[in-house]
A and B are shown apart, each in its own frame.
Chain A
Amino acid sequence: MSERAYKKPVPRVDEESKGYWEACRRHELRIQRCRACGTFRYYPRAVCPQCLSSDTEWVLSSGRGTVYTFTVTHQNQAPGFREDLPYVLAYVTLEEGVLMLTNVVGCPVDDVRIGMPVEVVFEDVDDEIAIPRFRPRTPADPHDR
Chain B
Amino acid sequence: MSLKNEIAVVGVYEHPCRWAPDKTAYQIAAESARGALADAGLTIHDVDGYATSGVGPIGVMSMCHHLNLKPDWLDSTAIGGSSFVAQVAHAGAAIRAGLCRTVLITYGSTAASERFAIGTGGGFATDPPDNFDAPYGPTIVGAYAMAAQRHMFQYGTTSEQLAEIAVTMRRHAGLNPYAKYRDAITVEDVLASRVISSPLHLLDCCVISDGGGALVVTSAERARDLPKKPALVLGAGIANRHSGIGQRDILDIAARQSGKKAFERAGVKHSDVDLCMIYDSFTITVLLTLENLGFCPMGEGGAFVQGGRIALGGELPVNLDGGGLSSNHPGMRGMFLVIEAVKQLRGEAGPRQVKGAEVALCHGTGGFLGLRHSGATLILGAA
Chain A interface residues toward B at CB < 8 A:
8-12, 16-17, 39-45, 48-50, 68-81, 84, 87, 89-91, 97-103, 114-115, 131, 133
Interface hit among B180-188, B195-203, B218-226? B195-203
B121 at the interface (CB under 8 A from A): yes
Question: In the complex, what distance in Å separates the CA atom of A89 from the CA atom of B153?
Answer: 16
Question: In the complex, what distance in Å separates the CA atom of A39 from the CA atom of B245?
Answer: 9
Residues A70 and B146 in contact, CB atoms below 8 Å apart: yes
B247 at the interface (CB under 8 A from A): yes
Question: In the complex, what distance in Å separates the CA atom of A80 from the CA atom of B122?
Answer: 10
A residues in contact with B131, CB < 8 Å: 11-12, 17, 43
Chain A residue at minimum C-beta to C-beta distance from B247: A99
Residues A103 and B245 in contact, CB atoms below 8 Å apart: no
Question: In the complex, what distance in Å separates the CA atom of A81 from the CA atom of B129?
Answer: 19
| Known interface pairs A69-B146, A89-B137, A98-B247; 9 further A-B residue pairs with C-beta atoms within 8 A, sorted by A's residue number | A11-B131, A44-B132, A74-B194, A75-B141, A77-B121, A81-B122, A89-B136, A99-B248, A103-B137
B residues in contact with A71, CB < 8 Å: 142, 145-146, 148-149, 197-200
Known contacts A16-B128, A76-B122, A103-B137, A69 near B150 by CB under 8 Å? yes
Residues B120 and A76 in contact, CB atoms below 8 Å apart: yes
Residues A68 and B128 in contact, CB atoms below 8 Å apart: no
B296 at the interface (CB under 8 A from A): no
Residues A76 and B153 in contact, CB atoms below 8 Å apart: no
Chain B residue at minimum C-beta to C-beta distance from A94: B246
Residues B137 and A100 in contact, CB atoms below 8 Å apart: no
How many whole Å from B285's CB to the nearest CB in chain A?
Answer: 15
B64 at the interface (CB under 8 A from A): no
Question: In the complex, what distance in Å separates the CA atom of A98 from the CA atom of B248?
Answer: 9
Question: In the complex, what distance in Å separates the CA atom of A44 from the CA atom of B198?
Answer: 29
Identify which of residues 10-26 in chain B touch chain A, using a CB-to-CB cut-off of 8 Å.
none
Known contacts A97-B247, A114-B153, A73 near B121 by CB under 8 Å? no
Question: In the complex, what distance in Å separates the CA atom of A10 from the CA atom of B126?
Answer: 10
B99 at the interface (CB under 8 A from A): no
B residues in contact with A8, CB < 8 Å: 134-135, 137
